[in-house]
């Protein structure tokens, strides 16, 4: 019954598969609760909708000059 919510930018199908599989496995080991009781939801947000330190990821990427 534990519930894991994951928020990030866009992910590939394989990354989402891996997240669901391995976050569940990891948490099940730590809590000693069987894997079938775990729920994972993944929310993919556009770069414009995710901000760090007052600036969006979109803005950070556009201003990044390596």
- Binding residues (CB under 8 A) for a second copy: these are 1-9, 11, 13, 15-28, 30-31, 35-45, 48-57, 59
Nearer to a second copy, 51 or 64 (CB): 51
Residue 49 CB, nearest distance to a second copy (Å)? Answer: 4
Residue 5 CB, nearest distance to a second copy (Å)? Answer: 4
**What is d(CA 47, CA 37) in angstroms, rounded to the nearest whole number?**
32
Residue 56 CB, nearest distance to a second copy (Å)? Answer: 5
Burial label for 65, CB within 10 Å (0-12, 13-18, 19+), is exposed
In 3D, which of 42, 12, 48, 10 has the Cα closest to residue 24? 42
């Amino acid at each position: 019954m534990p519930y894991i919510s994951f928020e990030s930018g866009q992910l590939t199908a394989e990354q989402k598969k891996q997240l669901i599989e391995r976050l569940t496995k990891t948490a099940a080991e730590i809590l000693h609760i069987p894997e079938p009781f775990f729920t994972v939801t993944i929310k993919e947000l556009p770069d414009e909708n995710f901000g760090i330190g007052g600036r969006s990821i979109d803005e950070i990427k556009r201003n990044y000059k390596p």
